[in-house]
Amino acid sequence: MAIEWKYVSDGVDWEELSALYRAAPLGDKNAEHLRKVFSNSMFVCFVYEDTKLVAVGRALADGCDCSYLCDIAVLPSYQGTGLGKQVVSHLVEASRGHKKIILYAVPGKEPFYRKFGFLRMKTAMALFENQQQQLERGYLSQA
């Protein structure tokens, strides 16, 4: 398995990235949306086996105060191989020096992130484009 790590968005096939998110499964994110959000992120990570995109992640950061890890995904056939752990480790290391590193996890995946030292926030709140959907998926609570 010839694994290649890239830390820039140059040459990314955004349609392939969109397909990775659907397969992961982390939702339907269109290619143009992904191009824009990855281009606006301070830290990005793309993992390829040969020419196939197999894992990805990004951190939206301001360079000092806050880095937000997001859009971390691994193709199902590569989950459990340690690639996701390596992507998160890279983004955490790239974000060192920020006063806080934040992420939100897919419900049920919190134990994975605890291994990196992440703890649950008691005061985090969010507004989503589709609040009802996120309530149903377990991302939000009205409590």
Q: What is the CATH number of domain 3-103?
A: 3.40.630.30
74 vs 96: CA distance, rounded Å? 23
> Phi and psi (nearest 5°) for 54?
-120, -20
Which pLDDT score, from 0 to 100, does residue 3 have? 93
* Cα–Cα distance for residue pair 16/34, rounded to 1 Å: 11
Per-block average pLDDT, block size 10, for the chain (143 residues)?
Answer: 92 97 93 97 97 97 97 96 96 97 90 94 91 91 85
What whole-number distance in Å separates Cα of residue 43 and Cα of residue 67? Answer: 9
Tokens encoding 105: 């996890």
Return the SS3 of 16: helix
Q: Sign of the C-alpha dihedral, residues 18, 24, 28, 34?
A: negative
Per-domain residue ranges of the chain: 3-103
SS3 38: helix
Burial of 57 (0-12, 13-18, 19+ CB in 10 A): buried
What pLDDT was estimated at residue 1?
64
